[in-house]
Amino acid sequence: MIDARYNRYQRDPTTGKRYGGEWRKIRSRHIKAHPLCEMCKKAGKLTATEEVHHIIPLSKGGTHADSNLMSLCTSCHSTITAREGGRWKK
């Protein structure tokens, strides 16, 4: 529900073009290469990757390059998104 509202009212309308079929291929390849959450791994926990995070958001000039991607679990991804002022903050 929150994601749907965010996507409809707050996300840049051109975002859909940046997250099409090519992104799904890149995301899948990245998860296969990095199957564990990078933040959890640093904390000594082994948690499966559920999200692929753009270190520099696409809206700020980031790309889908491997050097700009980070494998995360949903909890860690939500933490980063909130800290950076993304969809979880007003």
Alpha carbons within 13 angstroms on the beta-carbon side of residue 18 total 15
- SS3 of 55, please? coil
Sequence length of the chain is 90
pLDDT higher than threshold 50 for residue 26: yes
The residue range of the domain holding 67 is 2-83
Position 59: which residue type? Answer: S
Whether 35 maps to a domain, the answer reads yes
Question: What is the pLDDT at residue 59?
Answer: 87
pLDDT tens for residues 30-70? 999 999 999 999 999 999 999 999 999 998 899 999 999 99
Whether 46 maps to a domain, the answer reads yes
Specify the DSSP element, H or E, that contains 69.
strand 69-72
Whether 52 maps to a domain, the answer reads yes
Whether 62 maps to a domain, the answer reads yes
Tell me, what CATH number does 68's domain have? 1.10.30
- Domains: count for the chain: 1
Whether 34 maps to a domain, the answer reads yes
Whether 89 maps to a domain, the answer reads no
Whether 70 maps to a domain, the answer reads yes
Whether 88 maps to a domain, the answer reads no
